[in-house]
Amino acid sequence: MINESTRVFNAAIGASSVAAAFELGLLDALHEQGSLDIEAWCTEHDMAHWSIRSILQVLARHGFVEMDDARATAKPGPRFDEAFADKGYFLWLMRGYGNLLQNLASIVKEHDTTTDGIGRDGKYIAMAGRDYGAHFVDPHFTKAMDEVPFKVAADLGCGSAERLLGLARARPDFRGVGVEVNKGAVDLARRNIKAAGMEDRVQVVHFDVKNLVYQPEFEDVEVLFCFFMGHDLWPRPNCLRAFKSIRQAFPNLKRFLFSDTYRSDLPLDQEMPIFTLGFEFTHDLMGQYIPSVAEWEDLFGEAGWDFRGKRDLSIPYSAIFDLRPAANGSDAGD
């Protein structure tokens, strides 16, 4: 009989295999081709046949793929669509926070649960965010952006710059500015911009949003958006100061679409949806406070922003908050 500890142990192997299959391109190949000749694919991509087969076998045990040993092929299984849609979450956890998971006891003993201490990998967090963002965020984001005309926008914590590039592809007259503090993410974003041939229309500024000040690149920005980094600005006094400085740094801003994952407050005996446990666990370990929806709304008003509404995302306990600079908030930074 399989007990709970066995399920948890096997799930850890499954999580590593999903993350690896995503990073290696296996999941994309299965999604695009339908059936995969394992040996031919390994030869084409210069990968060890036995290693790829082992990863596929683990995925098969979870129903994500089906193996045909006689033909040495693999194809999507009955649960493949789940794994394909959620693959970014697995990369976020296993690669973005892999050092933390592997060295959890040592990091706690050494009292070094800061972002630097846990070795959070900004490159993989950006890659993962680009993937699950495309599935669970971008459809909501596109609808929100289409509601008000604009030509120049900025992305705070732009990660891979994929949202800015998406806007540039869809809008010939669009110009965008990304603001990112993580050097790994900045390098990835600049490579993506260059590869897309968008260097004349999209740029990335290496700057800390926690201490944002006016830059010439910000002058014409009409719409600002920020995804999944607002909680990093807390505790509240620091976040309040940051939200006030954002108003001052963008003098011609008309709208701020701010998105984040908020605290679930689920009881310990209730099952948690995908991502929620990982998100709250990693941030609890770092001593990072995750605010509730009510705490965010209270802060917006004090920082000089009009709150116009909340659009729920397909990521659990996540939303886009529609903010506008308050007419009476000109002195919010004083």
pLDDT of residue 329: 56
| Alpha carbon 268 to its chain's center | 25
Helix (H, G, I), strand (E, B) or coil at 46: coil
What structural domains and CATH numbers belong to the chain? 4-83 (1.10.10.10), 137-325 (3.40.50.150)
H or E stretch at 226: strand 223-227
Q: Which residue intervals of 34-79 are DSSP H helices?
A: 38-44, 49-61
pLDDT of residue 299: 97
pLDDT of residue 101: 93
- Please provide residue 300's backbone torsions phi and psi, each rounded to the nearest 5 degrees: -55, -50
pLDDT digits (tens, 9 = 90+) for 145-193: 999 999 999 999 998 898 899 999 999 999 999 999 888 889 989 999 9
End-to-end CA, the chain: 65
How far from 173 is each of 168, 177, 203, 226, 276, CA to CA, in Å?
Answer: 8, 14, 15, 21, 38
CA distance 126 to 192: 12
pLDDT of residue 330: 46
pLDDT of residue 153: 98
Task: Please list the ranges in the chain whose pLDDT falls under 70.
Answer: 328-334
pLDDT digits (tens, 9 = 90+) for 97-149: 999 999 999 989 888 877 777 888 988 988 898 899 889 998 999 999 999 99
Place of tokens 């009009």: 306
CA angle (86 as vertex; 82, 88 as ends), nearest 5: 155
Place of tokens 């950006």: 126
What are the beta bridge partners of residue 305?
325
Q: For the whole prediction, is pTM greater than 0.85?
A: no
CA distance 130 to 227: 11
CA distance 120 to 117: 8
Of 208, 210, 166, which is closest to residue 185 (Cα–Cα)?
208
pLDDT of residue 59: 98
